[in-house]
Structures are given as structure tokens and as C-alpha cells.
Chain A
Amino acid sequence: MTVNTDNSERRVVSVIVVNEASVLSRITNLFSGRGYNITSLTVAPIPDSKYSRLTIVTAGSVRVIEQITKQLHKLIPVLRVYEHDDIVEKEMALVKFSISENITEIDTLCQAYNGKIVNVSESVIITMVADEPKRIENFLQAIKRYNPKEIVRSGAVALER
């Protein structure tokens, strides 16, 4: 009968919600109001349905994660909450480089991370990679020496196996 004070862990929580006006603010309010953190959040409609799917990357102790899933469930427009270990997780990143960088090397790197050059203009190129969030981290580490001008990460999406 003791209080659990175990350590914080990264977790992915997927939430299926009814598509309606204020549903996203209900979810983000819940996180801020109860002091849970959001590392990333993505949301998009599920095709041919009245539902949307949110993927939330969060961190917390086992107890906190359990509370998060239960509190999410309590929201009226929430249909289902998944909090799985066994998931496929992907994230996308867009990175802008100066055209004067070594484009061949950058392109090779991108390909190693399921990516490519997606746009070329007079002064810059934009690359895209899509991979596990952990590998996206590695990629972003690796490209540092090519002086990326801007980086956009999509946040993770996930599907249980």
C-alpha cells in the first residue's frame, strides 16, 4: 500500500476521438490542467469515419501514464485510448540546407533514413526523411555539419501491431 514513485518513461498514447469543434482543446486542457507533459501531438481525421486519431508522445511514471489513459477515457468524445508497447512508430522531418552544402552527401544520408531531396530552389534545398523517432534524432545529429537552416519535425504517428 505504498505510493508509486517510479521513474518517468517515454510513452506513446493513441486516442480515437469524435471529430468535433473543441475536442482538441479538451485533450490539451486535460494535459495542461493535470500537469502531464506533451512531447508531441499529431492529429488527423480517420478516412471514411466521423473520428480522428491523435498520437500523443508523453512521459511519466507508470502511475501517471495510467491516469492519463483513464482521464482521456473520461472525456465524453473519446472513443478509445491505446497505450501499447508493441507499436510501429514513424516520424517525418523536413530540413532546409543552403544549396552550397555538399548535396551529394546530404542526399545519401537522407536515403539512409527513408528520405530524399524534395525541393530545390535557387538558394536552398529541402529534404524529407521518415523513420522511427529515435532514428530521426540520429539523422538530425548527423546533418549538423551541413549547417541546416531550418528543421521541422512532424511529431510521431503510431499504429499498434
Chain B
Amino acid sequence: MQISGAQMVIEALIKEGVDTVFGYPGGAIMNVYDEIYKQDGFKHILNRHEQASIHAAEGYAKASGKVGVAMITSGPGFTNAVTGLADAYMDSIPLVVISGQVPMSLIGTDGFQEIDAIGISRPCTKHNYLVTDAADLPRILKEAFYIARTGRPGPVHVDIPKDITAQIAEFDYDFALELETYKPHVKGNPRQIKKAIDAIANAKRPLFYLGGGIINANASDEVRKLVQITGIPAVETFMARGVLSHEDALLIGMLGMHGSYAANMAMSETDLVIGLGVRFDDRVTGKLSEFAKNADVIHVDIDPASISKLVHADYPIVGDLKNVAGDMLSQVDKINSDKYETWRDTINNFAELHPLTFHEDTQRIKPQWVVKRVGELLGDDANISTDVGQHQMWAAQFYPFSRPRQFISSGGLGTMGFGFPAALGVKAASPEKTSINFTGDGSILMNCQELMTAVEQKIPVINIILNNNYLGMVRQWQTLFYDKRHSETDLSVQPDFVKLSEAFGGIGYRVNTKEEFDAALKDAVEKNVVAFIEVIVHRLENVMPMVPSGGSLFNMMLLEKKETK
């Protein structure tokens, strides 16, 4: 059929099964918005800032496992979205982001709201396109979705000049894609897999190192079985929280800069690292030359460039984790789980020596308590998103995650302002769960305009603001490494968070005691509207334990013993 470029966008989104689009209109994308007005194939959610549209699409994608879609205009609309693109790129989140561009005749003339969007998005997308003929749109959009969700997922940006959205051309979407130059490996090499299984069977102290790639590959079930059958202990990265249930006795905890002592010690003592969907990020490994120093490394990943990038892999396996973990499962009978009994005991001793915990305070609520408490009250019924800072680390450390896609946070880029809009996307994707966003008094102000989106769209996200009157994580580094010079991190001057939420039509609570917190959370869940629960927490609490930047995993700063406090 002969339709306009704008109509093609709508048709393609519907054919791709998109049910929710996040976005913000403007001059260059108006033809598409005109078609959005006329259609009812999907819902459009108007955020109040383009950055929030991208984060919402990310939250949607992470919670649903589908491709998130966002739509923005040219110039400032696009540049506002760049942080979101970069965030999605760092965390391998499948997105298709469609931006308007000035008409072809104006490209290169510094036209009104013209910016070289493709030039800017290139380093922070998996791929991008500038559409120069409406006849190419069906292919480009189909490729965009395919590229975003396959292989190592990532954001794909499609920039469409305004005249192309008006151009009439033939639309046909039912064709098979032929991408000669893009063929992700999906099947792991059977010889390599067999070698890896043999290595595991021969190891004395093997350790699963589980990463976010497992969630992207929907391979958590296979991985849970692998861990259970082999009896091999496992550590999770920040991005992998929820791959194993908190109830799994073989889950030692999170590793890395704010990982648990036991997890980091296990990594330091293991003789075989079994890395699944990981990328040896510096926040995980600490000092590279000391990381898992005595171990051989099995590394399974869909992205060949991740393998041996930072740490040499003795057993490299490129493939989709669902396949590879499945193949491994079919050979696990070679592995005798009893063999690792003493190794498991060693690790349990580490955990007993320095358990992951915190000290209560009689005066003020401790932020960690809030996270634990939400876990006790809501547990599996909540999806958890976070902003960036201390509260984020406490959420990762203390929430009892029970399933993949339950924890949604900005890992690679560490984007303050991610949490609230992401939670909107999470709630849109999974309305049956309570959507909690743990945030800080600094971060929440970076996208608090989303209160309006939440009110308008009736998306009842509960933002729990752990208010320490500080840019806490930066303050912590200043305390520890800059001789307590708290340069520009004191947030004593603050808005009235309760009134702020109310001004938009949301609800707000200020909480000073544990009883008040329980009551506020219960009330917010019942009222089912967007909420701010501001919890006044201990100001100077530090995230512990901690591997100082560049230090070795086995050299952690530990929680001070109570008596010495």
C-alpha cells in the first residue's frame, strides 16, 4: 500500500507488537504525532522531558523483555534524549528511538532545531540510521527492531527528516530481513562447552560469576538449574540481581566495590571463574591484576568483544546464554557436587566472619532498614527501580530479590534521574506489581517533573526518598578520601517533598520513625496514586563494605564493629 512515512512509522510499530510508546512532540516529528492522534494500536505516554521518555522506555524494556520505544523531536528534543541513549547502550537495553529531523533540504544549513543527531548518537547506540527516502523506512524500522533485540541488545536510533515523514511510498512489512553483515552467534561451540564442563569437573573451588547478560538472554531458569545441580556457589553482579533467588543457599551475594565480603573473598580464592553474561567491569573486579588471581576463566557471552577484553578467558564461549547454559545442563552429570563441600564451608565461614549487615541507631532510621523493611512488606510483589548513589547500593545489597527483571537500575552509566521515569516504564509493563523507586534527595530532583506524567497517566509509582541531606555517595568519598572536605555535596536546602508531590496531584509523606514508615507505605500502596515517601535517615551513614577504587577485592574496608563506633 502507498502511505506516508509518518503512517509507516505507526504501521511498523503496530506490526512489531508495540503497545506503549514514550515521547514528546515537536516541529520535526509533528507528522508522526498527527498519525499517533489518529490511531489506537498503541498507547502514547507523554513524559515531561525527553530524557525521561528514554528512561521510561528502558524501564519498560527491562521489565518486559521487549523492545522499548521512544519518540522525540529534532534539536533539543534529541539532545535531551542523549543521556538516555547512553544509559541504554551501557546497560545493553533494547530500544528503538525515533527522532524527527529538519527536512532534507535544510540538513547541513544550521536550520532551526537542526543538530547532527546521527553524529551525536553514533557512540552511544548499537546502530543508527538517517532515513533519506520513505521507501527505505519499512526496511530500516524492521532492521532497527531486529538489531535492538538480537545479539547483545542495545538502543537503535532512527532519525527521520520531516519531509520524509510526509513522503508517500510503498509500504510492505512482511518480508524477511537479509542482513549480510550482521549475524550474531547464538549457538556455543560444542567443543568449547565440553572443555569448559571438564574444567568445572576438575576444579576444586569453582565459582559462578553471574551477570546481567543472563537476564537479557532470559536464561535465568537454566542458570538456576545449573547452580542447583552442580552445587557450585555463585556471586552476582549488580546487574544480575534476581537471577538467583535470595533464598538460594548457593547465592553468596553481590560482588564488587560494594559487594559482600564473602562474595569478594570467594572470587579471590576461586580456582575457576565461570563467568556467564558478565563483562569484568572495573566496579566489579577492583584491581585487575589481583582479580581471581589463581583462577582459570570460563567466559560465556554473546558479544565476542567482551571476551578477553579485560581478563583473559581460558575457555571462551561465544553464544546466547540460553543455548549455552542449556547445553551445559545436558552435560552436568560429569560434575560431582559433593566435591565442593569444603569450598562451600570456606565461603560460609567468610560470610559468618563479616556478614552483610548494618548497625541500627536509636535516634534515626538507617537507610538500609528502609530497604529491608520494604523487602519484608512487599518482597516479590514489588518491582524495584533506583536512582544513583548510596540508596542504589543499599537497594542492591539489602532487597530480597526473588526473580530476574525485578531490579531495574542504571549500572554502566550511573545516571541520576533514571529511577522515577524508569519506574513509570516498569509499571506500564507490569501493572500487577507495585512499582517502588528507591531514590535520593539529590537524584529525585533530576526528573521530578515526571510526577505530572504519573498523575496524568495514573501510574502509581511509589518513590521512597532516602533523605540524607547529602549527595551521599559523593559525600562518602569525600569523607573517606578527601579528608572530610564535603565540597558542594551538602543538600541542607531542600524543597518540601510532600508539597512537591501534592503540587502535581500526587501524595506525599514525611517519615521520621519506623512506625510512620510502615503506615506511609501501607497507605501509599492502598491509595494507588503516585507517591513520595520522604524518609529522614541517618545523614552520615556510609555504604559498607567497600573496595576503594583501584584496590583489590580481598582488601575491603569493612563495617566498623559496633563497640568502636
Interface of A toward B, CB cutoff 8 Å: 1-4, 17-18, 21-22, 25-26, 29, 33, 63, 66-67, 70-71, 73-74, 76-79
Contact = CB atoms under 8 A, between A and B. Distances in A.
Given A1-B292, A1-B297, A26-B122, A76 B312 contact: no
A3 B181 contact: no
Interface string B162-183: 0000000000000000011110
Given A67-B309, A76-B147, A76-B181, A2 B289 contact: yes
Interface stretch (B191-199, B300-308, B504-512): B300-308
A1 B295 contact: yes
A29 B294 contact: no
A79 B289 CA distance: 35
Contacts of A26: 122
A63 B308 contact: yes
Q: What class of interface size applies to chain B in its complex with A?
A: 20 to 34
Contact of B305 (A2, A4, A74, A77): A74
A33 B121 CA distance: 13
A1 B288 CA distance: 9
Contacts of B297: 1
Contact of B181 (A2, A25, A70, A78): A78
Contacts of A71: 305
Contact of A22 (B123, B130, B182, B294): B130
Contacts of A66: 308
A22 B181 CA distance: 15
16 contacts: A1-B292, A2-B312, A3-B312, A4-B312, A21-B130, A22-B122, A22-B130, A25-B122, A29-B122, A70-B305, A70-B309, A73-B305, A74-B305, A76-B179, A77-B181, A79-B180
B294 A1 contact: yes
Q: Which 10 A-B pairs have the closest CB atoms?
A: A70-B305, A76-B127, A79-B181, A76-B182, A33-B123, A3-B288, A70-B304, A71-B305, A29-B122, A74-B305
A79 B182 CA distance: 8
A21 to B, nearest CB: 7
B180 A3 contact: no
Contacts of A63: 308
B296 A1 contact: yes
Given A1-B296, A74-B305, A76-B127, A18 B122 contact: no
Contacts of A76: 126-127, 147, 179, 181-182
A29 B311 CA distance: 25
Given A25-B119, A71-B305, A79-B181, 16 more contacts: A1-B292, A1-B294, A1-B296, A1-B311, A3-B288, A3-B310, A3-B311, A4-B312, A17-B181, A18-B181, A22-B130, A29-B122, A67-B305, A67-B309, A74-B305, A76-B182
